[in-house]
């Protein structure tokens, strides 16, 4: 037995007291390798009754299937219900303690390992620990869905291309209220819980706020006991892992799955066919059939999502893709044509390789469209299968919207609409009207952006090739829409009707359906030629062999006082024919038309959606439009990531109920001036800053002072989020420092650590230039001995949820400085506010509501307002904008080469000129720069008064209660999905 020590086995009365040596083998620490199987099973049963657990799980599975199959046998149903109750009672009474957790970890290390048995080190400890937590989650998951099956309740299904989950271990054991027992168990095994948890890679299933919101929603749905599922794709390599080099951002593939994922349960028995290409044929029965093409399979991987202080555990079902075994061409392989032999397999698998593959090529566009259709088709097939199973022998499709609510998170899942129509009409045999009624009552759409590039448009030619049946259905939906528009606006005012059709149609640059072909035909301008001349030309057949109407032209010339030669000259001067614009499918318009609710994600955003983005639709269907201001889960974003602050809040409020009822945070307001609270508050903040200083040193090599203000902007790198405004402000600050003496610097500036984080999309050149510029500024400033700790600029590589959980509790100032009217909501601003961080920002997205809730005096506001933006851009295009001298000073300073030899002309050029793509400062950095600098001076002044600053910090936390995702989910459930909480007995 390869072990350095013999482990004493725990008994019921004796806990393990001897730690594992770091290089111990599994056989050594379990100490049963040389024992009999009998003694091993006794050991396991004594400490963790797996046989009983497995019996109960099997019992539950049998009972749930039996209830479905034996609905006519009353006695069998009663017996099954009794078994169900017994199993539930047995499972619900199971409460792991440290001793049973130790045994469970040992069990998984021995019997369900994802690693070799020679050693048990910290990565293996994480895997085994996660598997023990998953056991408990599976118990609760089975109980939850058995109960939902039994009650046949309506469920919400949340479809999203992103779920930015973050690490699961600490969140899961926190929600299960098992943090203490797990910490003790791992301590007995020689490890710290925190160190074990840090072994977990972030699940690479998202990028930014869209995916993080989806994950917060799942947490809240489970916590509030709402019946729901999440559906997404299981990306093998995620978006990318970001490295920062001397050349800026470098993208490499994510490796989050390389050591396996202990949280997922692969459901090989849950798979659905997905078809691409092929053709549509009409059968003898008159139905349309989609045949031929390329067939793949979508396979389910389930991730249990636990609620907080509840047994409810809901499901995130992720789809992977593969081809059938018979698609591997064995003959081609044996002939040496290896690539050709596995082409079908590779084409299927690559669908789930990468989140948002580059779409500048036709291959990239095709892959993205395949991803979106796979998500929609597999999820809907799964939803329908479960609906039919619950319905038993008699399926009433009219009840489908009474049992199913499908929420499309942005436009990526828009193909749900034609896909549901296809299934209902082509496969289930419903009429068009019935299918359309069911679809509209089932589907709802969340809009996340006003950016035109994010309101997806797909090439109709591409979609016709890839999804021919869906294009037919979309054309019919578009025809129905045209009919509605014509009925609403009539044909008397052809200009108005043309405007509405151009705005609202799903198909862009596509001729009107035949039924409406003549409604927009305008009379041509009458040519002043006598009817006699035209009649003569007609009667005498004056058209020559080349088809020219020379005599008619001469007659026209004579009438106009011109000669024929001038007409001929004009013919030769005609411009080249303009190519026809591409035919497009507007997914956002399809989402609005096909769903029963459209919601924005912040009050100001929802108003922009109604007044601008979808104004024509809002006027037609005002009842469709709602607001659902985003939220974040207070469990992950205060309770677990900031335990020091959480303890203080609980102490002063007098209860931990605020974790579930965040409105109780408002009680902190009455203590905001209390010196004892302020002292505790500052100590907690400084402790978090010390952790971040160590983290920065580890990740970047830079040393920062925890006594400086921590000023943070972490989010996706994009021009509208204006990281460029932030770094220009820092450059101005640095330049002013360099012009002062040491004493003047110290007097004039508060020490700051300016922290950036976020990924620039791989093909977004300007965003990558911004990353490069930030890192160049940091390299210069951080090595300047004259500046020292007065100013540091840090770019944290590979920003993700786990990094956010470290940075946000330590933040003192956070920057949410997007161009007004361009950020839909934001969710990081909510996380910062919850953690007592003051914010500098524009009146954009949820900033507006945060400022209202925390108080205007506790928010640093600057910049143009949303309603002013269009006018300011017009002013710029007319050449009337006069830049602030300080802005010009910064640009000149950058161009001087002080930050290195890289040529920043393209970056700075985007801020110059009055028009042109990539120029003209579209995001108004120059316009807002002066007010931004002045606002930063106010920040410095406020920070010098630490008593005032701490009070403002407390009031930010106290005012953040509205921004819990629990509140948001209650609103979705009540006002869109029409679902009720279902609490397990």
Contact yes or no for 824/601 (Cβ under 8 A): yes
Residue 507 dihedral angles phi and psi, to the nearest 5°: -95, 125
Residue 742 structure tokens:
């040491």
- Measure the CA–CA gap between 11 and 46, rounded to whole angstroms: 8
Contact yes or no for 403/152 (Cβ under 8 A): yes
- Measure the CA–CA gap between 49 and 47, rounded to whole angstroms: 7
106, 386, 448, 768: the catalytic one is: 448
**Does residue 310 have an active-site annotation?**
no
Distance spanning both ends of the chain, measured CA to CA: 48
Strand arrangement, sheet containing 584-586: 457-459, 584-586, 507-508
**Does residue 439 have an active-site annotation?**
no
Give exposure, 348-363, as e/b (b: 16+ Cβ within 10 Å): bbebbbbbbbeeeeee
439, 662, 819, 827: the catalytic one is: 827
831, 851, 873, 951: the catalytic one is: 831
DSSP for 887-935? HHHHHHHHHTTTT-S---HHHHHTTSSSSSTT-TTTT-HHHHHHHHHHH
Number of H helices, E strands in the chain: 41, 22
689, 715, 759, 792: the catalytic one is: 715
Q: Which residue has the tokens 């001729």?
A: 511
Residue 237 structure tokens:
């390599």
Residue 747 structure tokens:
């007097």
Give exposure, 229-266, as e/b (b: 16+ Cβ within 10 Å): bbbbbbbbbbbbbbebeeebbeeeebebbebebbbbbe
Contact yes or no for 166/215 (Cβ under 8 A): yes
**Does residue 827 have an active-site annotation?**
yes
Class of residue 861 by CB neighbours under 10 A (exposed 0-12, middle 13-18, buried 19+)? middle
Q: How many residues comprise the chain?
A: 985
H or E stretch at 405:
strand 404-409
Give exposure, 483-501, as e/b (b: 16+ Cβ within 10 Å): eebbeebeeeeeeebeebb
Torsion of CA 10, 16, 22, 26, to 10 degrees: 10
What three-state secondary structure class fits 712?
A: strand
DSSP structure class, residue 117: T
DSSP structure class, residue 701: -
H or E stretch at 429:
none
317, 470, 716, 876: the catalytic one is: 716
Residue 975 structure tokens:
């006002």
**Does residue 38 have an active-site annotation?**
no
**Does residue 831 have an active-site annotation?**
yes
Closest CA to 418 of 458, 358, 449: 458
What three-state secondary structure class fits 193?
A: helix
DSSP for 615-679? HHHHHH-GGGEEE----B-HIIIIIIT-HHHHHHHHHHHS-SGGGT-GGGGGGGGGGTT-HHHHH
**Does residue 715 have an active-site annotation?**
yes
- Measure the CA–CA gap between 435 and 154, rounded to whole angstroms: 19
Contacts of 965 (CB under 8 A, 6+ apart): 213, 216, 217, 219, 220, 630, 631, 632, 633
- Measure the CA–CA gap between 219 and 202, rounded to whole angstroms: 16
Q: Annotated catalytic sites, by residue? A: 448, 715-716, 721, 827, 831
């Amino acid at each position: 037995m390869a072990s350095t020590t013999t482990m004493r086995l725990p008994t019921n009365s004796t806990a393990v007291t001897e730690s594992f040596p770091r290089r111990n083998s599994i056989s050594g620490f379990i100490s049963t390798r040389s024992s009999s199987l009998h003694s091993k099973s006794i050991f396991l049963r004594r400490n963790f009754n797996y046989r009983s657990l497995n019996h109960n799980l099997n019992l539950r599975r049998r009972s749930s299937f039996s209830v479905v199959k034996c609905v006519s046998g009353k006695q069998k149903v009663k017996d099954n219900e009794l078994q169900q109750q017994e199993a539930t009672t047995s499972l619900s009474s199971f409460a792991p303690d440290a001793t049973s957790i130790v045994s469970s970890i040992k069990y998984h290390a021995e019997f369900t390992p994802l690693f070799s048995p020679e050693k048990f080190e910290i990565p293996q400890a994480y895997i085994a620990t996660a598997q023990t937590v998953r056991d408990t989650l599976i118990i609760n998951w089975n109980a939850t869905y058995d109960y939902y099956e039994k009650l046949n309740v309506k469920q919400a299904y949340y479809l999203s291309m992103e779920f930015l989950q973050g690490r699961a271990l600490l969140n899961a054991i926190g929600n299960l209220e098992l943090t203490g027992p797990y910490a003790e168990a791992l301590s007995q095994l020689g490890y710290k819980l925190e160190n074990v948890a840090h072994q977990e890679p972030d699940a690479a299933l998202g990028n930014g706020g869209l995916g993080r919101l989806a994950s917060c929603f799942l947490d809240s749905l489970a916590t509030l006991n709402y019946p729901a599922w999440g559906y997404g794709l299981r990306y093998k390599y995620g978006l990318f892992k970001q490295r920062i080099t001397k050349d800026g951002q470098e993208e490499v593939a994510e490796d989050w799955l390389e050591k396996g994922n202990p949280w997922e349960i692969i459901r090989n028995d849950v798979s659905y066919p997905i078809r691409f290409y092929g053709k549509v044929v009409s059968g003898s029965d008159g139905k349309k059939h989609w045949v031929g093409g390329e067939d793949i399979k979508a396979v389910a991987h389930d991730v249990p999502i636990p609620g907080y202080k509840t047994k409810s555990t809901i499901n995130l079902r992720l789809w992977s893709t593969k081809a059938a075994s018979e698609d591997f061409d064995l003959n081609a392989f044996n002939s040496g044509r290896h690539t050709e032999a596995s082409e079908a397999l590779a084409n299927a698998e690559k669908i789930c390789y990468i989140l948002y593959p580059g779409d500048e090529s036709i291959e990239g566009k095709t892959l993205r469209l395949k991803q979106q259709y796979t998500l929609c088709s597999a999820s809907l097939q799964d939803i329908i299968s479960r609906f039919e199973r619950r319905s038993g022998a008699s399926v009433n499709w009219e009840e489908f919207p009474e049992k199913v609510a499908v929420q499309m998170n942005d436009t990526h899942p828009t193909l749900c609409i034609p896909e549901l129509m296809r299934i209902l009409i082509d496969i289930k045999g419903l009429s068009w009207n019935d299918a359309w009624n069911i679809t509209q009552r089932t589907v709802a759409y969340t809009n996340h952006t006003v950016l035109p590039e994010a309101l997806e448009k797909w090439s109709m030619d591409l979609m016709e090739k890839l999804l021919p049946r869906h294009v037919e259905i979309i054309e019919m939906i578009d025809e129905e829409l045209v009919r509605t528009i014509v009925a609403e606006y009539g044909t008397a005012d052809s200009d108005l009707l043309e405007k509405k059709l151009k705005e609202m149609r799903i198909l862009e640059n596509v001729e009107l359906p035949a039924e409406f072909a003549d409604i927009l035909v305008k009379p041509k301008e009458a040519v002043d030629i006598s009817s006699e001349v035209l009649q003569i030309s007609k009667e005498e057949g004056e058209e020559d062999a080349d088809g020219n109407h020379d005599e008619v032209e001469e007659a026209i010339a004579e009438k106009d006082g011109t000669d024929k030669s001038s007409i001929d000259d004009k013919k030769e001067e005609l411009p080249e024919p303009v190519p026809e614009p591409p035919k497009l499918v507007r997914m956002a318009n399809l989402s609005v038309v096909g769903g029963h609710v459209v919601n924005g994600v912040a009050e100001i955003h929802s108003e922009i959606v109604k007044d601008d983005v979808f104004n024509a639709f809002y006027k037609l269907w005002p009842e469709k439009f709602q607001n659902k201001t985003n939220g974040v889960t207070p469990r992950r974003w205060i309770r677990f990531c900031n335990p020091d602050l959480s303890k203080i809040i609980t102490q002063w409020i007098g209860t931990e109920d605020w974790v579930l009822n965040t409105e109780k945070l408002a009680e902190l307001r009455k203590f905001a001036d209390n010196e004892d609270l302020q002292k505790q508050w500052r100590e907690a903040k400084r402790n978090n800053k010390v952790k971040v200083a160590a983290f920065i040193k580890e990740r970047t090599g830079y040393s920062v002072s925890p006594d400086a203000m921590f000023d943070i902007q972490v989010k996706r790198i994009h021009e509208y989020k204006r990281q460029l405004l932030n770094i220009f402000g820092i450059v101005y600050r640095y330049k002013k420092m360099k012009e002062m003496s040491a004493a003047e610097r110290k007097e004039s500036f508060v020490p700051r650590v300016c922290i950036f984080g976020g990924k620039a999309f791989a093909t977004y050149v300007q965003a990558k230039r911004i990353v490069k510029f930030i890192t160049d500024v940091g390299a210069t400033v951080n090595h300047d001995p004259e500046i020292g700790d007065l100013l540091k600029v840090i770019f944290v590589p590979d920003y993700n949820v786990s990094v956010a959980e470290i940075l946000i509790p330590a933040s003192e100032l956070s920057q949410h400085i997007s161009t007004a009217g361009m950020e839909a909501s934001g969710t990081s601003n909510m996380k910062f506010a919850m953690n007592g961080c003051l914010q500098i920002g524009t009146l954009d997205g949820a900033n507006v509501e945060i400022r209202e809730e925390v108080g205007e005096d506790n928010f640093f506001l600057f910049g143009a307002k949303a309603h002013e933006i269009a006018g300011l851009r017009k002013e710029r295009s007319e050449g009337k904008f006069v830049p602030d001298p300080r802005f010009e000073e910064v640009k000149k300073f950058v161009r001087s080469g002080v930050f290195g030899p890289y040529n920043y002309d393209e970056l700075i050029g985007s801020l110059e000129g009055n028009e042109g793509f990539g120029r003209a400062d579209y995001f108004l950095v120059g316009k807002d720069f002066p007010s931004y600098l002045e606002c930063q001076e106010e920040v410095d002044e406020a920070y010098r008064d630490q008593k005032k600053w701490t009070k403002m910090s407390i009031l930010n936390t106290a005012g953040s209660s509205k921004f819990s995702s629990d509140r948001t989910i209650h609103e979705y459930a009540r006002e869109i999905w029409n679902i009720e909480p279902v609490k397990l007995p």
